[in-house]
Amino acid sequence: MTEKANPDRQGGGFAGGMAGLTAANLVTKVLGFVRDALFVAVFGGGALADVYYAAFRLVNVFRRTAGEGALNAVVIPRLEEEKGAGAGAEAGFFPSAWTVMLLLSSLLAAGGILFRDQFALLSAWGFRADPEKFALTALLTALLMPHLLFVNLAALFTAALNSARRFFLPALAPAAFSVTVIALLLAFRNGFLAAMSGRGRILVLAAAASASGLLQALLLLPQLRRAGFRLKFANPFSRLSTAGALLAAAPAAVALAQDQISMLMDTLFASFLAAGSITAIYNSARLVQFPVSLFATAAATASMPELAGRTAAGDMHGYRDHLREALSASWLIMLPAAAGLAVVALPVCRALFEHGRFSPADSEMTARALFWLALGLPAYGFNKVAASSLYAMGRQKGPMAIAAAQLALNAGLCLALMGPMGVGGLMLATSLSSWAAAMVFLLELRRRSGFSVLSGIPLLRPALAAAAGALTAFLLRRTLASCGPLAVTAAAVPAAAAVYFLGLRLLKVEERGLITGGRF
């Protein structure tokens, strides 16, 4: 019997998985931009927003790393092994993993509440000079901690569903967070709790954001049951290897989400800078993460089950072919995105964020951060796919060592650049250290799998097409400068994209079909 097309279950291999993930991620990212624009319109881009984003940054590291591949890296290979052995979806690993994850996440959330001051230091050390500001950051951190419990469970459900080649709904479920926050922010804009202070309303917002994680997990339960997985409790001590496998997700998280951890580090350094710096980092990172999550993370997630399966079968030729597709898809998007965001950083920031209490000065600071952070986009995408690919081979030490070195380099560069360049220096540090990590990942992939990036993916021709697109955006920005940021953004972004894809076609870059579905 032929299975009908279903966005929740892709039958088209890598391209089908990418399509479902990209569609779902597009929805979540658009909602995320609406959420962030409403937030700064309600609370502005100053000290109060800095406090919220400092508290949220730490939680977001867990939220994003768990949701974007850390658990996939350890759960999917184990589930693929069970499939190869003829075991069903209810074989021993998943019930044990669910039980252990519930216990570990509950302990983590409880620890975050009890030791909220110490957790807050990880992202807001510089706030200690203002006790009231630091106390609010710690309180917000505690309110957001239950979110970790729910999103970690949702990440485990996502990994199980991805192993069953179901991608769309797991990628869409995180939109529950944005929908919840948007609804509350719109209520604030329409007078809800108008008599409450800004401090009180931001505490209410943090509580609602925390509760949204439960909704995200609940949305996945019906499909999880249909895929054959049941939430049966198991004795956590009967399969001690399960706890070890899940704890291995911690180093996997460092490797797969080094960009997120770099942002946490940047936030820590920014707590010593002028008010608004943390908010500028958060908003610029959100813009950069749009193409990363939409395509690079999608490529890494969609390729993980296939790469793990190829490795388990000893098919290294198939592994290299699939890796080439994933890296090519990431490169073909990250390169023009980097050039385009660097060129139109200021009009994009003004169009998206300069509403309500978000001032032109806030836009300029965010644009500076965005310009320098965007330069590392191709490296962020490459690192995410490369780390995921090495984990699919069972190579865990290499990605961890590379990520640790990148974070150390990032810290050193932050110290050197934050003085003369401010928030822009922090973002440049992240870009430079990410490119250094990408070079090392290139060597590690070649050593472990025999894959050569220089011969495996198109480099020069897409770069020429991206340059043409960036030039188009620059000329339109200059021509339409008097028309306002919204007009510049609405004209420059699609025009640059059209020129880029036309350039790919004229230069006969066949790999463009990986991101266009063969329609252009």
Contact, 338 vs 350, CB < 8 A? no
Q: What gap in Å lies between CA 356 and CA 362, rounded to an integer?
A: 12
From the number of C-beta atoms within 10 Å of its C-beta (0-12, 13-18, 19+), residue 218 rates as middle
Do 357 and 500 lie in one domain? The reply is no
- DSSP code at position 411: H
3-class secondary-structure state, position 6: strand
Residue at token pair 């079909």: 513
Six-digit token string for 76: 């999917």
From the number of C-beta atoms within 10 Å of its C-beta (0-12, 13-18, 19+), residue 475 rates as middle
Do 423 and 504 lie in one domain? The reply is no
Q: What is the pLDDT of residue 373?
A: 95
Which residue range(s) make up the domain with 464?
A: 458-520
Query: In the chain, how many domains are there?
Result: 2
Q: What gap in Å lies between CA 73 and CA 255, rounded to an integer?
A: 10
- How far apart, in Å, are the Cα atoms of 95 and each of 71, 82, 236? 15, 13, 9
Q: Which residues of 376-385 are buried (b: 16+ CB within 10 A; e: fewer)?
A: bbbbbbbbbb
Q: What is the pLDDT of residue 16?
A: 56
- Asked if residue 311 is part of any domain, the answer here is yes
Of 246-255, 379-388, 420-429, 500-509, the one with minimum mean pLDDT is 246-255
If we measure between CA atoms, which residue out of 388, 387, 429, 428 comes closest to residue 408? 429
Which residue, of 428, 457, 486, is where some domain finishes?
Answer: 457
Q: What is the pLDDT of residue 304?
A: 63
Question: Helix H segments across 44-115?
Answer: 47-65, 71-84, 93-114
Do 391 and 505 lie in one domain? The reply is no
Average pLDDT over residues 13-30: 69
If we measure between CA atoms, which residue out of 513, 515, 517 comes closest to residue 5? 517
Do 441 and 469 lie in one domain? The reply is no
pLDDT band, very low/low/confident/very high, at 87 (cuts 50, 70, 90)? low
The answer to whether residue 520 scores a pLDDT higher than 70 is: no
From the number of C-beta atoms within 10 Å of its C-beta (0-12, 13-18, 19+), residue 331 rates as buried
Six-digit token string for 134: 């630091």
Six-digit token string for 139: 């309180």
Do 354 and 238 lie in one domain? The reply is yes
- Asked if residue 6 is part of any domain, the answer here is no
In this structure, how many other beta carbons lie within 10 angstroms of the beta carbon of residue 272?
13
- Asked if residue 263 is part of any domain, the answer here is yes
Q: What residue type is 325 in one-letter code?
A: E
The answer to whether residue 245 scores a pLDDT higher than 70 is: no
- How far apart, in Å, are the Cα atoms of 335 and each of 342, 379, 470, 500? 11, 9, 10, 10
The answer to whether residue 9 scores a pLDDT higher than 50 is: no
If we measure between CA atoms, which residue out of 136, 138, 148, 140 comes closest to residue 110? 148
Cβ neighbours of residue 517 closer than 8 Å, sequence gap 6 or more: 15, 19
Do 475 and 439 lie in one domain? The reply is no
Average pLDDT over residues 343-364: 90
Six-digit token string for 348: 């994009």
Average pLDDT over residues 364-387: 91
- Asked if residue 4 is part of any domain, the answer here is no
Q: What is the pLDDT of residue 252?
A: 61
Question: Helix H segments across 164-197?
Answer: 168-172, 175-189
Q: Per residue in 313-346, pLDDT tens?
A: 677 777 788 788 888 888 888 899 999 999 999 9
Question: Dihedral, CA atoms, 177, 77, 303, 301, nearest 10 degrees?
Answer: 10
Q: Per residue in 111-138, pLDDT tens?
A: 989 999 998 888 889 998 899 999 999 9
Residue at token pair 């250094």: 436
Q: What residue type is 279 in one-letter code?
A: T
Do 242 and 371 lie in one domain? The reply is yes
Of 37-41, 391-395, 515-519, the one with minimum mean pLDDT is 515-519
Do 371 and 357 lie in one domain? The reply is yes
If we measure between CA atoms, which residue out of 182, 241, 232 comes closest to residue 212? 182
Six-digit token string for 398: 């290499």
Of 23-27, 215-219, 437-441, the one with minimum mean pLDDT is 23-27
> What DSSP line would sit under 27-49, residue for residue?
HHHHHHHHHHHHHHHHH-SSHHH
Which residue, of 457, 491, 511, is where some domain finishes?
Answer: 457
- Asked if residue 347 is part of any domain, the answer here is yes
Do 166 and 249 lie in one domain? The reply is yes
Which residue, of 409, 433, 457, is where some domain finishes?
Answer: 457
What ranges make up the beta strands (E) of 169-250? none
The answer to whether residue 69 scores a pLDDT higher than 60 is: no
Six-digit token string for 196: 């409450």
Instruction: Determine the length of the chain.
Output: 520
- Asked if residue 374 is part of any domain, the answer here is yes
- Asked if residue 8 is part of any domain, the answer here is no
The answer to whether residue 89 scores a pLDDT higher than 70 is: no
pLDDT band, very low/low/confident/very high, at 2 (cuts 50, 70, 90)? very low
Work out the mean pLDDT of the chain and round it to a whole number: 82
Do 134 and 245 lie in one domain? The reply is yes
Do 509 and 365 lie in one domain? The reply is no
Contact, 334 vs 342, CB < 8 A? no
- Asked if residue 2 is part of any domain, the answer here is no
Residue at token pair 């990212």: 29
pLDDT band, very low/low/confident/very high, at 10 (cuts 50, 70, 90)? very low
Contact, 304 vs 78, CB < 8 A? no
Do 338 and 314 lie in one domain? The reply is yes
